[in-house]
């Protein structure tokens, strides 16, 4: 069979297949069989080497003309099939927007996360930087650099989860402060939020996993008055202008002097109620001036610099903020409880 006859045969076969092809995928396969690298029309072009030199230009022109005609036929069929498939898809995927539907369940920010955002907004507004650190910590950062050497009796109060003799699950976020003091020069003004771990019982007010937000300021001439002014500003920002702070002497190995801080009861505004047990105040956090020994161990000159630190229990202020009586509600994921905060 000559090249002309083969062209006629290919053209006739294309017309017959175009009448039966039903979808764009089958049409693409037909196009490849005809015009692809191994297609029948491409094979004809490669076979032109067998023709006499004087016949090649004319025959090449004929094949190219037929190729353009076939390409137009394929393109027209592709437009037709594409439009048909589009219409079928629109009909299949059509939505009746008048049909009544149940509203989707809308989530909410978890109460602990909502209070955390408020607290961090308070302190970033006061010029603090938010920094985080590892939850699995070295004993050196969790205890030793915070004036809690090996066998120190105050370690017993921490109820620590030990991975081995030198690695612990951090019992507070103070290790982040130690890392900051070792890596930066004063002035330092940071808050360190995060999860902490203690081998504690599980009840309405205790959990082995909870959250703390600890703050640290190191600079020249920092005083206890600066600490009180900072915590006053925090309390008023979070609970209102009529809230006051009350400092009571306490002890922490990494601060000296140390204090527990009470705030005016946000439920009764100081009048006395069940929440504050009639005192008008609620204990919220611990704080104090950074122990000079801690500064020295972290490479900061205690003769030149001083500082203060504080630690806030996030769950505690969340419970107080929303009047929640059982801490376990914050962790159980009960949708009946969480829906209240939408």
| Percent of the chain as helix, strand, coil, to the nearest 5 | 45, 20, 35
Rounded mean pLDDT, 194-220: 89
The average confidence (pLDDT) of the chain is: 86
Rounded mean pLDDT, 212-223: 96
pLDDT in tens, 99-118: 787 877 777 889 999 999 99
Domain layout of the chain by residue ranges: 3-92, 111-341
Give the angle 205-210-213 at the CA atoms, nearest 5°.
Answer: 110
Is there a contact between 290 and 306 (Cβ–Cβ < 8 Å)? yes
Per-residue model confidence (pLDDT) at position 154: 65
Give this prediction's pTM: 0.66
Alpha carbon distance 292, 287 (integer Å): 15
Neighbours of 72 (CB within 10 A): 10
Does residue 320 have a pLDDT over 90?
A: no
pLDDT in tens, 126-141: 999 999 999 999 999 9
**Pure H helices in the chain:** 3-20, 24-35, 40-46, 56-92, 111-125, 139-142, 174-183, 224-239, 292-297, 314-322, 335-338
Does residue 3 have a pLDDT over 80?
A: no
Rounded mean pLDDT, 260-279: 80
Is there a contact between 259 and 250 (Cβ–Cβ < 8 Å)? yes
**Domain boundaries 111-341, corresponding CATH code:** 3.30.930.10
Does residue 157 have a pLDDT over 70?
A: no
């Amino acid at each position: 069979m000559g090249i002309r006859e083969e062209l006629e045969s290919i053209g006739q076969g294309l017309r017959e297949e175009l009448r039966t092809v039903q979808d764009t995928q089958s049409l693409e396969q037909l196009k490849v069989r005809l015009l692809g690298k191994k297609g029948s029309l491409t094979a004809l072009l490669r076979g032109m080497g067998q023709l006499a030199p004087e016949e090649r230009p004319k025959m090449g022109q004929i094949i190219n003309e037929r190729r353009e005609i076939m390409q137009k036929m394929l393109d027209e069929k592709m437009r037709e099939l594409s439009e048909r498939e589009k219409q079928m898809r629109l009909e299949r995927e059509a939505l009746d927007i008048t049909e009544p539907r149940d509203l989707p369940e809308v989530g909410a920010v978890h109460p602990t996360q909502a209070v955390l955002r408020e607290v961090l907004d308070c302190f970033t507004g006061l010029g603090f930087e938010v920094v985080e650190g590892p939850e699995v910590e070295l004993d050196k950062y969790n205890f030793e650099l915070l004036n809690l050497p090996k066998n120190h009796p105050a370690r017993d109060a921490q109820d620590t989860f030990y991975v081995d003799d030198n690695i612990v699950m951090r019992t507070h976020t103070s290790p982040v402060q130690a890392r900051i003091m070792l890596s930066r020069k004063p002035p330092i003004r940071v808050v360190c939020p995060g999860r902490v771990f203690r081998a504690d019982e599980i009840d309405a007010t205790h959990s082995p996993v909870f959250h703390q937000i600890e703050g640290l300021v190191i600079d020249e001439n920092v005083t206890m008055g600066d600490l009180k002014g900072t915590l006053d500003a925090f309390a008023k920002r979070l609970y209102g202008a009529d809230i006051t702070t009350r400092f009571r002497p306490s002890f922490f190995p990494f601060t000296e002097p140390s204090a527990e801080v009470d705030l005016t009861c946000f439920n009764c505004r100081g009048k006395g109620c069940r929440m504050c047990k009639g005192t008008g105040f609620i204990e919220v956090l611990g704080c104090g001036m950074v122990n000079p020994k801690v500064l020295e161990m972290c490479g900061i000159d205690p003769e030149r610099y001083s500082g203060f630190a504080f630690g806030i229990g996030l769950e505690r202020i969340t419970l107080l903020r929303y009047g929640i009586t059982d801490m376990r509600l914050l962790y159980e994921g009960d949708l009946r409880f969480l829906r209240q905060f939408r």
